[in-house]
Structure 1
């Protein structure tokens, strides 16, 4: 079904123009792509179809429009009003929500290509970006695939074959078994021969799917099972390989660009070591670990590998680098990478522009000596995830309030959502790629912290608390990172912002100031004030700030504060054992999306999520949302008389940690189970999660069946 251009642009013209203005102001060719001038006289495609969705579709459309190329979007039924559909010149529906019936529906996409008169297809990343059958069908139709040739994709897309090719190209490789794992028993046998720890992964995999690490026989057995299931679900290919796991490694990748004339260059490296479940969370360019000689050696091997397979597009060669700076080939991604913007910032080259040029048959205009390394850039992947559960289990919901921090200098947001957009269980939970740039690492990090504080996301759970804490954590700031950074720094899981005494006191000062500001504002409009404060103490107050609901500051239960408020100057004097001066801007409003407090000359940007008349409030402070209650003396004394709530034993209740689909149930009613035993498996965004018993007991209730779609926190099973 074709959606009329007129209808799209009438409905959304204001929003689209706003987006374009933001891009023009922040990411003009002159400033961002300083080394990649567009030649208007160079032959180019007239119309390109983007076989993808979300932020990457918007990203490709942006460069196409800057080149004067018309764009065609495809969408599933559930994506009919998304940004990539609105931004394209034409848009066609290709099927229902499940990706297998829409974005992977090759026949429907080929039909759209015929109808629209498309000359070329850019696949983005994921979906059909490394599908050689799709590329061949395009070639048979005379349609250009904006990516590498099918031979390169096939050779590098198979991890087993790519490793053999890398050996022939004299590229350093990881020790392992050069073949397919037959079954779970074979997996355990190979793991013993190679020596634990080992990495089990899908031969056709990518994006962290179909990968499991094993330190013993039991983990190898389970890793085989889960990797195989995820490989089938994600890639329709259950072949697995096994190799030695390099301990304390850094994950560093080299961006390459090659044309169809035998020319190839690399665009330096990206540091991608901050990962959870083998998926990247924060990336940076360049790496603090590489010196010029190591960068040169890795770059030369990356180009040697690319030329060995006749590569002819943008691609990424990924390496593991151990603590002694020995590096090993991991895999090659024959597509545009999620994290490509940080390379664009530091090299000044529009990678999508180069992909389109190469696909059209043009030679690269750059040689290796032309490639600069300018400044520093970070990318934080902002996900709809709960970071308090295994560093990020998917969340769903609607963006009821949404504001990107693009008003800050040197900030770029690559997103495919807007206020009102829905995040659902069918696709990756990525909300936005937040990119910041600086003349050095410290400046880029400071801009990232400011951006995360000003990023407004309401209506669903997101991972900004984790991102914000990482970028200020001392080991990360000093560059002491590896792929095990998260479990090393947060051995008990992420609990929220790492709070020191200064942060705690500042948070208390902010909460108390907000409470009093709200009180004084209400006195101007409410005759019979219901907030329980002493009328006679109009200038001075004693308040109690209860922080007991926040696990990461459990040692600080309730803090007494003596406060003096000067309404004329919007200044608070707060005594919390030591004196703090809090100042508010003259136009301060509790209704603002973000609020700036000056505490002892330091600026804190916070978000007031909610504030009730009973003193309960939620404040987002340094990324983390804190549940706080502010009380006057009278209320605090009454609170001490209330007995604490009894604790409920939740170990007998098994809840789904996230929205997903029940893939298997391993028990029946009346079965006796032991602590640690698997009960069922939940799949979301193609990742499988095993639900295990936290204590021994008998199964008394099973509230789901295989194939059911379940919500986060939904009770799946109960034990007695």
Structure 2
């Protein structure tokens, strides 16, 4: 076994590897950029080496500096984590040349699976079923479009060197093909330095099911069950679970053996994941093989009781696999939810900022939190906006899902928008509870997940108003002043008027007026609350971060979190985000004009797609921004003319900055 290893990565995966290495008595070396000088993975490691500036292409992707750090510290092996250099065959070769063990597959396996089109050909020869598609070398736009036309829409464009949803676009009609191809190629080139594409038939209701495989250098290979990763946004996974719901033992064995067959076809060694599309009729098709550890590996660890990073280290050191296939056991059910700094209400765009307050749920035998950040850390524009992975486990799916919802309701983050409330809504949605899953789940159930129906909004407004009046009453009770003073009254008393308070609450992107009339003074106060056409009688209590609400005789206990002026209420089936709208006193500085188009996030201008002074139509792409490995296209809000671009490609811009001077066409 190794005495010292270097982790060529950052964030939660670097911390994850360090924890296992420490358990095995292995010393660790971290590498870090300017932006990560005070990062958690740096403080956790035994040693750390600075390797460059904040942009990953100037630090974490500079593999010569990583090799030099190995030589400088005497590290015998490199764990690449996932992303960055984890599937870079040149880095693997450089490690071999330097006498440093690459904790991953051999160069040949990485190269074989590094091109999606080449991988398809290899799998076809190995007898692994494939989705119909074009995987050829001719990359002319005309030929790619003809392949799509012949196949029939919808189709999926995928970067041959891609992963993580980068360089991928769904195309629903021939008229959208050219723009989608250009965007996918541009993103693939930025992410992988390779803009080659393949075109596949897009299945409309598939599930994304992947098999965890492991091979050693002695010819042994096993599969460790499967993971269902169907729930995705922007082709990136949101909640993963293991085992896959409804998976029969016969289908598990069939898919597992196909995955092992795929791994053996390329003489694989180490941890790998073979990803399949599982159709409604039980047929499955090879998508790709990731020649590394996956982000979602913890759910496999929870149901098998195995430490997959330890397996990686042992196999890389030349040891045999710890278990044979017949010894692999599945115990219970596990979920992983990815906690991101992003705005679900704004197309899941990433956000940046400082984690002013960070309190994850308490860890236990059932709850695990993998993270690489601490309170006070900055989520920067340079890297993926993941804050943590929340993993839960229990004896069956229903119990594990209840644990997931509870843990999400206990996650407290302030300083920036996150997807925690969105994840809670998703995990408590009835179709998700019933495991009615496919890769279009979020779009299909959008209204249900975002709870923006009129009924949901009115219910949220009533709960929010009850919380606000109870909070006011509690603050008055603890005030160190005369309790009998009329200035401490919270009953909204007015001469010859009802005792009513009026609130303007923002939720679901709408402003809702709510009135609250106090019906009883002293003792257990009762209130009449009116919102829209709903009027209820309510009472309640605030205790230990929870709202105990009684509304028209229905009692419920609702966990509450306040952060950055937002109140989150976690009911049985939804997370409601509410903000009290303050009166407009005319002091706001409204500098935005009708023609202003602003940056939705901090990022970099990638390309300008229109010319100043030239007329454009509503919906035309004007420019492309990139942040945190994600592209966002700014489009014309109406027919008109771009008078001026305020930034050039390569410029860094802040969220909210005006990008374009746009003049709408006259009616």
Q: Same fold (TM over 0.5)?
A: yes
Which position in structure 2 is the counterpart of 1:625?
577
Counterpart Cα distance in 1 of 2:429 and 2:457: 12
The Cα shift of 1:543 comes to 4.1
1:410 aligns with 2:366: yes
Is residue 181–residue 242 contact of structure 1 (8 Å, CA) maintained in 2?
no
The 10-residue stretch of structure 1 (140-149 or 61-70) with the greater mean CA deviation from structure 2: 140-149
Which position in structure 2 is the counterpart of 1:516?
473
Cα distance change of structure 1 residues 379 and 141 upon mapping to structure 2, 3 Å threshold: same
Cα distance change of structure 1 residues 128 and 412 upon mapping to structure 2, 3 Å threshold: same
Which position in structure 2 is the counterpart of 1:32?
none
1:584 aligns with 2:532: no
- Kindly report which structure 2 residues correspond to 1:377-456, keeping only aligned pairs within 5 A, or say none: 377-390=334-347, 392-407=348-363, 410-456=366-412
Counterpart Cα distance in 1 of 2:381 and 2:123: 37
The Cα shift of 1:534 comes to 5.2
Is residue 383–residue 432 contact of structure 1 (8 Å, CA) maintained in 2?
yes
The Cα shift of 1:536 comes to 7.3
1:72 aligns with 2:26: no
Is residue 181–residue 241 contact of structure 1 (8 Å, CA) maintained in 2?
no
State which of 266, 271, 277 in structure 2 corresponds to 1:309.
Answer: 266
Is residue 213–residue 219 contact of structure 1 (8 Å, CA) maintained in 2?
no
- Kindly report which structure 2 residues correspond to 1:242-321, keeping only aligned pairs within 5 A, or say none: 242-321=199-278
1:662 aligns with 2:662: no
1:137 aligns with 2:102: no
The 10-residue stretch of structure 1 (707-716 or 275-284) with the greater mean CA deviation from structure 2: 707-716
Cα distance change of structure 1 residues 150 and 565 upon mapping to structure 2, 3 Å threshold: farther
Deviations 1:263-299 (A, max 9, x none): 1111111111111111111111112132222111111
Deviations 1:131-187 (A, max 9, x none): 111111111222111111111111112111111111122111000113135232222
Cα distance change of structure 1 residues 516 and 45 upon mapping to structure 2, 3 Å threshold: same
Is residue 354–residue 415 contact of structure 2 (8 Å, CA) maintained in 1?
yes
Is residue 247–residue 322 contact of structure 1 (8 Å, CA) maintained in 2?
no
State which of 145, 148, 155 in structure 2 corresponds to 1:191.
Answer: 148
1:54 aligns with 2:54: no
The 10-residue stretch of structure 1 (496-505 or 683-692) with the greater mean CA deviation from structure 2: 496-505
Which position in structure 2 is the counterpart of 1:107?
64
Is residue 214–residue 269 contact of structure 2 (8 Å, CA) maintained in 1?
yes
1:608 aligns with 2:562: yes
Is residue 495–residue 552 contact of structure 1 (8 Å, CA) maintained in 2?
no
The 10-residue stretch of structure 1 (431-440 or 66-75) with the greater mean CA deviation from structure 2: 431-440
Counterpart Cα distance in 2 of 1:315 and 1:103: 22
Which position in structure 2 is the counterpart of 1:457?
413
SS at match of 2:607: strand
- Kindly report which structure 2 residues correspond to 1:85-96, keeping only aligned pairs within 5 A, or say none: 85-96=42-53
State which of 615, 618, 623 in structure 2 corresponds to 1:675.
Answer: 618
Is residue 158–residue 197 contact of structure 2 (8 Å, CA) maintained in 1?
yes
SS at match of 1:549: strand
Is residue 470–residue 541 contact of structure 2 (8 Å, CA) maintained in 1?
no
Counterpart Cα distance in 1 of 2:162 and 2:428: 33
The Cα shift of 1:551 comes to 3.2
The 10-residue stretch of structure 1 (617-626 or 163-172) with the greater mean CA deviation from structure 2: 617-626
The Cα shift of 1:579 comes to 3.9
The Cα shift of 1:625 comes to 2.8
The number of residue pairs the alignment matches comes to 645
Counterpart Cα distance in 2 of 1:76 and 1:529: 59
Structure 1's unaligned 5+ residue stretches are 1-43, 589-594, 611-616, 631-638
Deviations 1:28-81 (A, max 9, x none): xxxxxxxxxxxxxxxx11001000000000000000000000000000011011
Is residue 214–residue 223 contact of structure 2 (8 Å, CA) maintained in 1?
yes
Counterpart Cα distance in 1 of 2:246 and 2:647: 49
Which position in structure 2 is the counterpart of 1:475?
431
Which position in structure 1 is the counterpart of 2:532?
none
SS at match of 2:345: coil
Which position in structure 2 is the counterpart of 1:121?
78
The Cα shift of 1:423 comes to 0.8
Is residue 67–residue 98 contact of structure 2 (8 Å, CA) maintained in 1?
no
Deviations 1:104-138 (A, max 9, x none): 11111111110100111100000110111111111
Cα distance change of structure 1 residues 375 and 505 upon mapping to structure 2, 3 Å threshold: farther
Which position in structure 1 is the counterpart of 2:547?
597
State which of 320, 325, 349 in structure 1 corresponds to 2:306.
Answer: 349
Is residue 545–residue 628 contact of structure 1 (8 Å, CA) maintained in 2?
no
The Cα shift of 1:692 comes to 0.7
Is residue 566–residue 578 contact of structure 2 (8 Å, CA) maintained in 1?
yes
Root mean square deviation, CA, Å: 2.8
Counterpart Cα distance in 1 of 2:137 and 2:549: 60
The 10-residue stretch of structure 1 (212-221 or 599-608) with the greater mean CA deviation from structure 2: 599-608
SS at match of 2:247: coil
TM-score by length of structure 2 reads 0.91
Counterpart Cα distance in 2 of 1:291 and 1:450: 29
Counterpart Cα distance in 2 of 1:688 and 1:107: 28
State which of 149, 157, 173 in structure 2 corresponds to 1:200.
Answer: 157
SS at match of 1:174: coil
Counterpart Cα distance in 2 of 1:564 and 1:374: 54
Cα distance change of structure 1 residues 501 and 673 upon mapping to structure 2, 3 Å threshold: closer
Cα distance change of structure 1 residues 205 and 386 upon mapping to structure 2, 3 Å threshold: same
